[in-house]
Structure 1
Amino acid sequence: MDVFFSAVLPTTIVFLIGYVLQRIRFLDVKSISTMAIYIFLPALVFKNLYESTFDQQFMTLFLFALFLLIVLITLNKILATLFGWSKATESASMLASVFMNAGNYGAPIIYFGLGEEAFPYAIFFMVVQSLLMNSFGVYYASRGKRSIGQAVLTIFKMPATYAAIFAFLFQKGQIELSDTTYSMISLLADGSIPVMMVVLGMQLASIKGLEMNWQVVSTSVLLKMIVSPTLAFLFVHIFSVEPLLGSVMIIISAMPTAVTTTLFAVEFDAEPNLVSTITLITTIMSVVTLTVLLNLL
């Protein structure tokens, strides 16, 4: 239970603060989320990747993200064929079970549960996941309305993409920042995690409609909460991944559905109420599943 009180409970309380605040005051979540994405998140990404050493571990993490994406997309397509789902239902299932909340939720849990040493891995995975979600996620949400090329272009509208690129270039080029610049970036980076956590609570409070399609909900929850971490466990043991990185992979793969997928579902009419339902259920379930996983690891 120590892990629950030291990692899961503090994170959950901050989410609840955001949730209650939104229920009471009805703030403009989009504006606050935009501030987090365009100001705080790039600073967090740059600072942590700039201070990291880009070695084989980061390449392994990148390959794992692609492996998880491909396997979960394939499983969704198999389920869609077996159950005869419509394109919209298949897209909803894809959004809900393939893309996890690696940022608002995953990064804080890794930080509190596995420590500062594991945090750069969480940030790197968050960036990779963001790239995948803003390309493949947008494509599957908007099938018939947007090409994969147009979806990929979305990546280059995200400031975190450039923050990661500059962090890599600055580190490889051994470019040192001035104390003033580094202090400014560090100040913003330090504030990013609590802001992102509060935003997640506000986003959950803003979910309006729920839809209990039990077949899709149950299969998506199973894929997200059971199959995904099991795939991570197999990957870690088959490829003999270093223990700390392996723990990050397993924990991050067990994260609930990314709230951003609901925004995609709303924008492209990919059964948003269904995606919202799965997002809410997996987020609630994760309080238990993550506690168990963190204790096991």
Structure 2
Amino acid sequence: MMYLGMIFFQIVVPILVLLVIGAILQKKFRFNLKALSQLITYCFMPAAVFVNLYETHVELTVLGEVGLFIVLFIGSQMILSHFMAKGLGLARTEAAVFKNSVVLINSGNYGIPVAQMIFATQPIGVAIQVMLVIFQNMTTYTYGLYNLISSTKSGMTIIKDFFKMPIIHALIIGVAMNYFDIGIPQFIKIPVEHVADGFIAVALITLGAQLSQLEMKSMFNKTVFISCFTRLIIGPSVALAIIYILGLDGVVAQSLFIASAFPTSRNSSSLALEYDVESATAAQAVLFSTIVSCITVTIVIYFAEVLFT
């Protein structure tokens, strides 16, 4: 119990403090959240991704294991959420939001900061989380958009938009420079590292500002509650089963298990709002799962340490 409390106060509470700071600042100053989001997407996150991949050596066998896990895990969540939505008898639009809230995980401005705190001395743990961010972005702009039955973008437009994302460029450049052992001039390396170091604070403060804008009312409706339970309880349980089936262990298993427990992605709410599909329910699912994850993520981190150390 003492160790569980230590995890909560050393990892989860610092995240909560930054989220609260973001919420307070947003209430006082009314930041342009779109501008902050773009700053993260086009500056802070690519820098953090590049630095982690450039400085981390990941073996091909590990890449294969992580890739296989991601395919099995995301696929299982798609199938599970589909049949649950049918079993609950949800309307088509509500079912789309429900499925997105289960499948789309906040791997970016929640997952990477958590991974950087936990695996500060084991960069491979952060590198694995970066891979998960890439796959989650792919899932968001393919499966997520498909669920909401987008009529404004064609399949090719979605693909083009995906490959325009700076995080993809950072991934390719970071991996290439790592593989070919290409050095970086100090006058470039130092500012990039400064930006990467600022990612955690800026990402979490922005997330807190975004969450402060969501509606609390009706948050405890059936769809939101079951969505949260599926994302935070059933999701990690399925991930644990897949990890054992694949025979994974050590930092790889820890990182994947912890990553499976993160709350619903804010992108699920953004997409629902953009395409006017049950946006209130989507926003409430993001807020509720983020609040409850403070407890569930702490527990999952604890079990990851116990089971895979």
* 2:254 maps to 1:247: yes
Pick the aligned partner of 1:14 from 18, 24, 32.
Answer: 18
Partner of 1:111 in structure 2? Answer: 116
Structure 2, unmatched stretches of 5+, are none
Contact 1:45/1:124 (<8 A) preserved: no
After TM superposition, the structure 1 stretch with the greater mean CA deviation from structure 2, 32-41 or 153-162, is 153-162
Alpha-carbon distance in structure 2 between the residues aligned to 1:82 and 1:10? 39
Alpha-carbon distance in structure 1 between the residues aligned to 2:55 and 2:97? 38
Identity of aligned residues (%): 25
* 2:9 maps to 1:23: no
Structure 1, unmatched stretches of 5+, are none
Distance 1:116 1:265, change over 3 A: farther
Tell me how far 1:11 sits from its aligned partner: 1.1
Tell me how far 1:275 sits from its aligned partner: 0.8
Pick the aligned partner of 1:32 from 36, 48, 67.
Answer: 36
Contact 1:99/1:257 (<8 A) preserved: yes
Partner of 2:72 in structure 1? Answer: 67
Partner of 2:186 in structure 1? Answer: 179
Alpha-carbon distance in structure 2 between the residues aligned to 1:59 and 1:220? 30
Tell me how far 1:142 sits from its aligned partner: 3.6
Aligned pair count reads 297
Equivalent position SS for 1:244: helix
Alpha-carbon distance in structure 2 between the residues aligned to 1:131 and 1:255? 17
Contact 2:219/2:288 (<8 A) preserved: no
Q: Which amino acid aligns with 2:299?
A: V
CA-to-partner distance for each residue in 1:183-233, whole Å, 9 max, x for gaps? 221111111111111111011012247545733223211210111101111
Tell me how far 1:144 sits from its aligned partner: 4.6
Q: What's the Cα RMSD here? A: 1.8
* 2:280 maps to 1:276: no
Distance 1:169 1:62, change over 3 A: same
Alpha-carbon distance in structure 2 between the residues aligned to 1:108 and 1:116? 14
CA-to-partner distance for each residue in 1:81-118, whole Å, 9 max, x for gaps? 22332221111012211111111111122222343312
| TM-score normalized by the length of structure 1 | 0.93
Alpha-carbon distance in structure 1 between the residues aligned to 2:172 and 2:227? 33
Contact 1:213/1:274 (<8 A) preserved: no
Partner of 1:85 in structure 2? Answer: 90
Alpha-carbon distance in structure 2 between the residues aligned to 1:154 and 1:86? 30
**1:1-297 counterparts in 2 under 5 A?**
1-55=5-59, 56-117=61-122, 118-208=125-215, 210-212=217-219, 214-296=221-303, 297=305
Alpha-carbon distance in structure 2 between the residues aligned to 1:278 and 1:96? 7
Contact 2:111/2:262 (<8 A) preserved: yes
Tell me how far 1:173 sits from its aligned partner: 2.7
Tell me how far 1:5 sits from its aligned partner: 1.2
Equivalent position SS for 1:174: coil
After TM superposition, the structure 1 stretch with the greater mean CA deviation from structure 2, 285-294 or 122-131, is 122-131
Alpha-carbon distance in structure 2 between the residues aligned to 1:14 and 1:236? 31
Alpha-carbon distance in structure 2 between the residues aligned to 1:242 and 1:72? 22
Alpha-carbon distance in structure 2 between the residues aligned to 1:137 and 1:173? 36
Contact 2:44/2:198 (<8 A) preserved: yes
Distance 1:213 1:288, change over 3 A: closer
Contact 2:20/2:208 (<8 A) preserved: yes
Q: Which amino acid aligns with 2:54?
A: Y
